[in-house]
């Protein structure tokens, strides 16, 4: 799916983008807050400055992605490999991180 198409669908209220292919997509400074990107392929994607707060990224592939200055507040990053992902100055408040144990 092309970047413009996902942004149009998001603007129309769609939030379910499970297993979407966004390899090397330029998503710089986009707002996808609250979207479901579980299983998405975001290898090499540029998400610099994007708003991904409250996004579900469970089992997404982020190898080589740039998440510099990305808002990941309350995002679900469980079951993903964050090695080779640029998280410089990313906002990770209340994010669920890989291998994080939740207490009930």
Predicted confidence (pLDDT) per residue in 65-81, tens digit: 999 999 999 999 999 99
Which pLDDT score, from 0 to 100, does residue 1 have?
72
Mean pLDDT for the chain? 93
Exposure of 69 in the CB half-sphere (CA atoms within 13 A): 9
Which pLDDT score, from 0 to 100, does residue 99 have?
73
Percent with pLDDT over 90 in the chain: 89
For range 21-45, the mean pLDDT = 97
The pTM assigned to this predicted structure is 0.91
CA distance 61 to 46: 13
Which pLDDT score, from 0 to 100, does residue 103 have?
43
Which pLDDT score, from 0 to 100, does residue 8 have?
97
């Amino acid at each position: 799916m092309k970047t413009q198409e996902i942004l149009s669908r998001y603007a129309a209220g769609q939030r379910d983008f499970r297993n979407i292919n966004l390899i090397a997509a330029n998503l710089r400074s986009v707002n996808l807050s609250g979207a479901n990107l579980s299983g998405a392929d975001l290898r090499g994607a540029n998400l610099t400055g994007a708003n991904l707060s409250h996004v579900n990224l469970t089992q997404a592939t982020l190898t080589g992605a740039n998440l510099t200055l990305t808002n990941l507040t309350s995002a679900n990053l469980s079951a993903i490999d964050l090695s080779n992902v640029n998280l410089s100055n990313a906002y990770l408040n209340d994010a669920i991180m890989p291998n994080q144990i939740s207490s009930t």
